[in-house]
Structure 1
Amino acid sequence: MLWDTAYYKIIFLGKKIIVMPKTDTILSAQSLRYFLQLIDTMNYTQAAQILGITQPALTQQVKKLEHAIGAPLFGQMGKKLYLTEAGKEMESAAVELLSTINGVVSDIQEYTQADKGHISIGILDSLHAGIFYEFLRIFNKKYPEVTFSIDYYDRKELWRRLDTNLIDMAIMYLPDTTKKEETNLRHQYSHADICADRLVVLTHKSTVEAGETYPVSRFLNRKWVTYPDDFYLTPLMHEYLGKKNKLNTPVKIASTKEMIKMAEDTDYDTFVTQSYYDAHRDEISLTPVYLSEEHDFHISYVYRKGKLEIPRMENMLKEW
């Protein structure tokens, strides 16, 4: 038997001769697109016009595919084309192969272009990120092809997702008080501050003035409704009180809105961040004051150092 070496390659293994189709040269992305276009129209003339090639060129590409496969892909009944069983199998394979090729090309383009691609962001669940969303609306108008997915997590889960590359960056409070042994590779991270924040005590006390600063000793006998112990502000408040003093906390609530409502409906005090208070001050009836022992902390972007090698990530931080 004679073999057309334009379509087949011959491999000699000892005394054996193996003849294999040259699918590496025949099954190109171009030929697969031609094949699928012909399926769409089931007409060589129309398909060739859409593809911008001549009808003989399209016919040649289809014949090359059929030589590579070893079976006819199209049959003809009168003037109408139809897909053979081999053609139906090839259609499924062509769609999958082109999807993979397009996906790889898209990934490469996204990795090398500043105005395309996807960024996944995790936000600390107790953090009010209103300023970030304002920036995101402006950024999205300027770079509409950069897409985002955003979700909320506690601190431990945020670090886990950063460590395992499930998110590109986190928006959280720094300095972070999570125990170092609970996270991995912390030294491999960088951060960029978004804005400074501080703790605001919301109190029922009638002997204080709004916006003024008082020593923590003025609030030692108060009852509190607070966040759960693993939220950022709770251990921070314990730090301000000192080791000898403890919060008298009948109720702990994870929702800031519900925590404030509980405080307003009882005689309990509570505390929130300045950023949250500024965004909701018209809805809050309690008196806001500050503690003289407190220190500022920051809302910050946190990301693995290698992330800035991705142009869209670098561009986002630059735009910020």
Structure 2
Amino acid sequence: MAPLMKSKQETIFSSKTLTYFLQLAETMNYTQAAQILGITQPALTQQIKKLERTVGAPLFYSVGKKLRLSEAGNTMLAATHDIYEVLNQATDEIQQSTSAESGEINIGLLASVEYSVFEDFAIQYYKENPDVVINFHMLTRKEIWDRLENNRIDLAIMYLPDDSIKNWKPYRAKKITNEDLLFIHTNDKLANRKKIRLKDTLTNVWATYPREYYLDQVIRENYKNAMVDLPKAVARFTTPDQIYQFSAETDAYTALPNSYIVSKGLTGNMHAAQFEPAIKFDLAFVFRKDKDEIPRVGRLLEAFDQYLADKDYITRLTQIHNAKYGVDHTKGAED
């Protein structure tokens, strides 16, 4: 018997076609999308043209050097998101019937977040729930949202608000704590100041986060809103440890979350102060709606609530620091 020809639906929804389309729709750049996908640009172009022939309309068009989604492309993008949403909901419904005492929980942790409290919680949680496997993934903000979208992580631990995310409808946020961004320096003339104006932080070069990292964008936005020049960055690192070490060795200014300073302490002649005006944001769990209905995920969130109810976030950080270093030499800025 002759094999059946593939239907239009089978052609459109092949394993790779939608992945290629989504990546190009996100980057709007064939070269960049092909690099991310690990294929050649001609191969990507061929797949997109094949999809366009199948649906009978162009999905993209160019304005000068810029790529744009056509009306058909926007329809296809919305449909693709709907497909993934249905699949994610089906996965969640299946998992909601599983046990609270066993299974895996995947947590995406923003790489710039101080992780010691979550590490301590995971140790305690394992002792009480040895059959639940917690997998922590240190991720960039983009990686977190990609994995949330594709249901590859159950929970994200990240900073909010995040204006780069346009579609919050499928997600919920659960606040963990409020964060202060602190100005870190070795300038003796500023040593006794608990608050420092933005314009006074420009007398030296900076070490900071990579461009497009959440905290780099927070810094840029606050300086722009205050109509103050941006700090001159001479080094950029992905983790607070790297930033702090560079600043300590070179006397470069920087900015780090208060939680990091409470957890690690200040060494040598390093000083911390609040910005004026203050730069604040939240640390929060982010997850797809109904994800907390999965027994093991809901139980973990409840256990974390109790963990912080027993001792608040900053107290936990301070105790972890003191246990590690034996003395309390934290010098975080006072409120």
What interval of TM-score do these two structures reach, taking the shorter chain for normalisation? 0.5 to 0.7
Aligned counterparts of 2:94 and 2:214: Cα–Cα separation in 1: 38
Q: Radius of gyration: which is bigger?
A: 1
The corresponding residue for 1:318 is 302
Describe how 1:1-320 pairs up with structure 2 within 5 A.
Answer: 111-180=97-166, 185-209=167-191, 212-242=194-224, 243-283=227-267, 285-320=269-304
1:118, CA displacement in angstroms? 1.0
Aligned counterparts of 1:288 and 1:109: Cα–Cα separation in 2: 46
Cα gap change, 1:277/1:146 in structure 2, threshold over 3 Å: closer, same or farther? same
Q: Is the 8 A contact 1:111 1:117 kept in 2?
A: no
1:113, CA displacement in angstroms? 2.2
Aligned counterparts of 2:175 and 2:118: Cα–Cα separation in 1: 11
Match of 1:136, as an amino acid? A
Aligned counterparts of 1:284 and 1:168: Cα–Cα separation in 2: 40
Match of 2:238, as an amino acid? A
Aligned counterparts of 1:135 and 1:157: Cα–Cα separation in 2: 23
SS of structure 2 residue aligned to 1:187:
coil
1:276, CA displacement in angstroms? 1.0
Q: Is the 8 A contact 1:308 1:314 kept in 2?
A: yes
Cα gap change, 1:218/1:174 in structure 2, threshold over 3 Å: closer, same or farther? same
Cα gap change, 1:305/1:120 in structure 2, threshold over 3 Å: closer, same or farther? same
Cα gap change, 1:202/1:284 in structure 2, threshold over 3 Å: closer, same or farther? farther
1:179, CA displacement in angstroms? 4.8
Which range is displaced more, 205-214 or 264-273? 205-214
Match of 1:137, as an amino acid? I
1:206, CA displacement in angstroms? 1.4
Aligned counterparts of 1:154 and 1:271: Cα–Cα separation in 2: 18
Give TM-score scaled by structure 2 length.
0.58
Aligned counterparts of 2:253 and 2:120: Cα–Cα separation in 1: 30
- Please provide the CA RMSD for this pair: 2.2
Q: Is the 8 A contact 1:169 1:302 kept in 2?
A: yes
For 1:157-180, what per-residue CA distance to the aligned partner results, in whole angstroms no more than 9, with x for missing partners?
Answer: 100100000111111111124353
Cα gap change, 1:312/1:304 in structure 2, threshold over 3 Å: closer, same or farther? same
For 1:3-61, what per-residue CA distance to the aligned partner results, in whole angstroms no more than 9, with x for missing partners?
Answer: xxxxxxxxxxxxxxxxxxxxxxxxxxxxxxxxxxxxxxxxxxxxxxxxxxxxxxxxxxx
Cα gap change, 1:206/1:120 in structure 2, threshold over 3 Å: closer, same or farther? same
> Larger % of strand: which?
1
Match of 2:250, as an amino acid? T
Aligned counterparts of 2:118 and 2:105: Cα–Cα separation in 1: 14
Which range is displaced more, 300-309 or 290-299? 290-299
* Runs of 5+ unmatched residues, structure 2: 1-92, 305-335
Q: Is the 8 A contact 1:202 1:271 kept in 2?
A: yes
Aligned counterparts of 1:282 and 1:250: Cα–Cα separation in 2: 22
Q: Is the 8 A contact 2:157 2:286 kept in 1?
A: yes
Aligned counterparts of 1:147 and 1:227: Cα–Cα separation in 2: 31
SS of structure 1 residue aligned to 2:244:
helix
Match of 2:242, as an amino acid? E
Aligned length: 210
For 1:209-257, what per-residue CA distance to the aligned partner results, in whole angstroms no more than 9, with x for missing partners?
Answer: 3571122121133211111112221111112212441211122222322
* Runs of 5+ unmatched residues, structure 1: 1-106
SS of structure 2 residue aligned to 1:289:
strand
